[in-house]
Amino acid sequence: NEGEKEWKFFTWMNEYYIWEFYSVAVDELILTTVLGVVAVSVIAMTLIPHWTAVFFVAPMVCILYIELLGVIQIAGLHVNSVTYISMVMSIGLMVDYVMHVVIRYYESEKGTREEKVRDTLSTMGSSILIGGISTLLGVIPLAFSTSSIFTTIFVSFIGLVLLGCAHGLILLPVVLSMVGPLGARLGHEPSDDKGIATTEHNDDSSA
């Protein structure tokens, strides 16, 4: 500013960080959500060796995410740094309730859709339910906290666990029982017992 008639200056406060965050929070949350769902879909196509898996994983994750936003709104919470982080983390957590069910459905050797769903729930359903209950018990102490940060995390996780279990154990099995692929089954190696039995049968025939 030396030699100038009008000085150039600017003000600075720590609160400017918060103001800047709120100015871009909504756009960043939308971008992060889209990238998260795309990443989950790509991982589903990679880990589940059948292209139809993405049509069950991606829509369920989107539905769960939108409903979790509704839970946060009903609870009276607003978009801030804590809810932002909770929503971003929830994408990676809620996919567990969907991915395990889909993988087990594809691994099932049953004939009809209903039988494959029953087999999925009888084998994988209990594990998902126990995982949800253990997570629920882990976050219950946060409900008694006086900190708004812990309260926000508690609401986010409660909504995530309840919605995840409901969709993974109720909605997704119903959808799979109606439109689940029948011919898509993950490959299995033939058992040794069948090979031994076939060899013995051939030996008896030769004799």
pLDDT of residue 44: 82
Q: Which two tokens stand for residue 122?
A: 């009888």
Structure confidence by residue, pLDDT tens digits, 114-164: 999 999 999 999 899 999 999 999 999 999 989 888 999 999 999 999 999
Q: Whose CA is closest to 57, among 112, 96, 87, 110?
A: 96
Sign of torsion, CA 167 171 174 175?
negative
By the 8 A CB rule, do 70 and 87 touch? no
Structure confidence by residue, pLDDT tens digits, 65-78: 999 999 999 999 88
pLDDT of residue 174: 94
